Amino acid sequence: MDLEAVQPGILAAASPWRVFRWRHGQAHYSGWYWSATTGTHVVYESRLELARLLLADFDPRVAAIAAQPFCVTAEVDGLKRRHVPDFLLLDVDGVVTVVNVKPADQLARPKVATALAWAGEVFAGRGWRHEVWSGAPAAVLMNVRFLAAYRYPDRVDAATVSWLERRVTTSALLGDLENGDSSAAGDVRAAALHLVWRGVFRVDLEAPLSAATTLERAA
């Protein structure tokens, strides 16, 4: 099927193009990640892919995530090209971003550079964004991994979540909110971090999360 005729929503709901296999001693780490965005498990083939998947799930503008959702083929200068992207992200405005995850030390390899450049031209021609991702600051990834533990809505106290949404209209220190009711400090922290995950509150992701963390109400 011509890529121009394919609707992004169909691709976002697609099953992975390849069959994922796990075996003892394999060089990369594959697995399934439960996504709060999709409410389902999304597959990944490496720890680097998992890191990008976490960031996509954390982004409140991302409405759908699909792993390896399609294979695009074409004949270029007499040669058949084939490409399966790592992720397709669909945002709340319907904007499509196709993501290819590659370690930074591989990007200069001619074969890799040529394949990614061709893929970028194909996706740009469709009006889609193309992202080649090789990592993010370590502090940001550490904080997002930590916040991911609070992504499950059924593991936080719903009443405390509602209270915090009413209580914090501009900004507040996490420690001050916890000290307001020391008997429920654990529930307050869990609810606050859940709201950070949901994008209701913003925090400085480049600093360690602590009682001194400032929660800012997102616009």
Whether the CB-CB separation of 104 and 135 falls below 8 Å is answered with yes
CA pair distance 26, 17, nearest whole angstrom: 20
Q: Does domain 3-133 have CATH number 3.40.630.10?
A: no
Could you give the residue range(s) of every CATH 3.40.1350.10 domain in the chain? 3-133
Confidence of residue 13 (pLDDT cuts 50, 70, 90): confident
Whether the CB-CB separation of 198 and 60 falls below 8 Å is answered with yes
Q: Region 31-45: what's the mean pLDDT?
A: 94
Q: Does 19 score more than 70 pLDDT?
A: no
Q: Does 24 score more than 70 pLDDT?
A: no
In Å, how far are 16, 39, 191 from 149, measured between CA atoms? Answer: 25, 15, 12
Which has more confidence, 75 or 95?
A: 95
Q: Region 153-158: what's the mean pLDDT?
A: 94
